[in-house]
Amino acid sequence: MRSPSPLVLSLLAVLVSGPIAGANPPAPPPDPVRVWNELALATVRSQSASDAQAARLLAMVNVAVYDAVNGIVSRNSLLLRRKHAIVPVDQAPHHASVYSAASAAAHAVLAGEFPAQQAVYDQQLAADLAALPPGGFTQEGRLWGAEVGQAVREARADDGSTPNESQPAGSGPGQFRAAWSGVQFRNLAPFAIADSSVYVGAGPAPLASLDYAAAFAEVKLVGDAAIPDAGKLDTFRFWSLGAGTSQPPGAWVQIALTVAGTRGLDVIQKARLLALVSMALADSVAPTVMTKFVYRHWRPATAIREADTDGNPLTDASPTWAPRGGGIGTSPEYWSGHSSFSAAGAAALAGFFCNDSIPFSLATDSAPGGSARSYPSFSAAAAEAGASRTVGGIHFRFGNEDGLAAGRAIAGEVLSKSLLRVLGPAHFGSCPL
């Protein structure tokens, strides 16, 4: 029987997180990608983070984990080397645990961003390290991971996410009527795409157009709180994901973790999957906020109540109309952030697996009764998430459809350029390896 190649032995040593010794198999290593993403999601909830803040944090954590893992793998094998996201592989150790590196990288990001919760993160890191073989292999990984996590934080320190800015309330037909905060995120530096501004939407349908009147009529009917429809209300609530939840980006990270588990991905594959998905989600932030900022379009509730001011003879005012989902919305209507995030997450997942039709189940943080829903594909879930905003009465169809299109395009750029092999074929069909 042929002996395993040095490449195979090297990769095996990396995956078991230490030298192979003795006849007894080692205990299963921890799953740092899952564990630290769950901690990041818990942080998003506890901090009542906005969707933009959630997307940025999740990308920072997962980029740090990926760069820590990829650095070690790439230094062990030229054939397995991939492009880094932020931190180059040159300084990575040749012999180190990818498990301790992943945990330490995520720990450095979370503890650095939220020092008040350091004890929680320290406890998890200690538990992860205690589950690994003692010695230099684990220690080298920990030191490298901490270095990577800190480098990611430094790279994102002035990325446009602060200080907080607000856009004042608009006035007149077509204008969003409230001031809204967080508009500095229109300048958020991309993680993977080249230029956020190229994805800014073409704008909502003109108020006097037939297309506007058709979208108006649809939401006025299907999103009307005065017309009971338990199914539509449950769909809206399932995807609503407001303050104190994982937010829409977090739901797609949950989906990625679920599918990674059912598909049996190892830590290297899982780190890359979560990095691609979270970068696509984060890179949807600036185009979404920029588009809302530029057009400042009014929400359906205002539009329907004041339809006699829009100059369109095909729309009728209904001064007491209320959206099925309750509330008018805290930012301008065009386009739907839920839609852009969902399409970006779905397209990144489909691209990674070269297959959209992977079934999964999900219970979002806002699922009525905590009940899970099952989907035949990633795109089916994204379509429902986007449509939920219309049946909830808070977005027009064009706000949903344009958001979905933008999210898909953003994910396409992320997949085509990011974390690809340095040597050998970079693609399998139309999907990056």
What is residue 240's predicted lDDT score, i.e. its pLDDT? 98
Residues 6 or more apart in contact with residue 159 via CB below 8 angstroms: 56, 188, 189
Cα–Cα distance for residue pair 433/427, rounded to 1 Å: 5
Helix axes 51-76, 285-295, angle to 10 degrees: 150
State residue 313's pLDDT score: 98
- The reported pLDDT for the residue numbered 22 is 37
Closest by Cα among 335, 347, 185 to 256: 347
User: Domain 6-155: which topology?
Assistant: Vanadium-containing Chloroperoxidase; domain 1 (1.20.144)
- CATH topology match: 6-155 vs 166-432: no
- What is the per-residue pLDDT for 424? 76
Q: Which long-range contacts (CB under 8 A, 24 or more apart) does 179-184 make?
A: 180/292, 180/330, 180/331, 180/332, 182/50, 182/52, 182/289, 182/331, 183/289, 183/292, 183/293, 184/160
Run of H or E including 28:
none
User: φ, ψ for residue 375 (rounded to 5)?
Assistant: -130, 145
Q: Do 39 and 120 touch, CB atoms closer than 8 A? A: yes
- Token look-up 């459809």 returns 401
Q: Does domain 166-432 have CATH number 1.10.606.20?
A: yes
pLDDT given at position 23: 34
pLDDT-flagged residues of the chain (< 70): 1-28, 427-433
Question: Rounded to 5 degrees, what are φ and ψ at 82?
Answer: -125, 160
Cβ neighbours, 10 Å, residue 326: 14
User: What is the pTM assigned to this prediction?
Assistant: 0.94
At 88-110, the pLDDT tens digits run: 999 999 999 999 999 999 999 99
Is cis: bond before 335, omega within 30 of 0? yes
Which pLDDT score is estimated for 427?
62
What confidence score (pLDDT) does residue 27 get?
Answer: 63
Domain ranges of the chain: 6-155, 166-432
